[in-house]
Amino acid sequence: MKKTWPKIVWSTNLLELPDFVTSKDKRFNPFSLDAINFLLADVRGALGPYLNVFLVTQRHWSQTEVGLVTTLGGLLGLAAQTPIGGMIDATRAKRGVIVLALAVLTIGAVTIFASPTFWPVTFANGLMAIVGDVFGPAVAALTLGLYARNQLARRMGRNAAYDHAGNVAIAVLAGAVGFAFSQRAVFLLVPVFALLAAIAVLSIPAKAINLNRARDLERKLSNEHRLPRRRL
């Protein structure tokens, strides 16, 4: 009697997940993404236009010095946008990129708090301008990897709502801290919110993120799979 072996079917669909990735591994709480958007607005909001006001009113910098620091930071941030966007698109460690950027942002804020003089502030502001390019595309990539295409419009609107709520919250909190303690103490809000944001980012399981969809490769691979093949 001829022995028959089970037929092995090789799938060309690169989007299929292995069997060991269970639904529990892919589960995440949507409030984690809400918290990320809210807290990242707090982190960036504490360092935005407030820095210029602080340097002029509290440190008595000239408009020329403030303009030079701001211009250098803006140019560095502009130059870094494209390579940082490409790096975020290519990397599989999208959560790690956000956490690293938060750490660098914290170092910059503490540097300004500890030594608000020209060269330390110039260095810290340039560094923060560069890592500030990370948050927008990284959060967008996370959202793409966590939600299907037909859910994106609503989710992006929710992201924007929490981002604006964070802007309002940090404005109120920075005013309260500046009034109760000192305007210089506002920069210490950054490490606090950076830590909370990092916790929110890491609360999303890595396996919950569809990396192909996060790079918009899902549709491309699906289209290639449907293309007719030529016979040679």
Between CA 26 and CA 74 the distance in angstroms is: 39
Q: Where are the domains of the chain?
A: 30-215
pTM recorded for the entire structure:
0.80
Q: Smallest Cα–Cα separation from 187: which of 100, 105, 76, 97?
A: 105
When pLDDT is cut at 50, 70 and 90, the band that residue 42 belongs to is confident
Of 15-19, 121-125, 201-205, 213-217, the range with the lowest mean pLDDT is 15-19
Residue 185 has pLDDT above 50, yes or no: yes
Predicted local distance difference test score (pLDDT) of residue 10: 39
Fold of 30-215: Growth Hormone; Chain: A; (1.20.1250)
Residue 69 has pLDDT above 60, yes or no: yes
The pLDDT tens digits for 82-104 are 999 999 999 989 999 999 999 99
Residue 22 has pLDDT above 50, yes or no: no
Residue 72 has pLDDT above 60, yes or no: yes
Cβ-Cβ contacts under 8 Å for 115 (sequence gap 6 or more): 121
Residue 17 has pLDDT above 50, yes or no: no
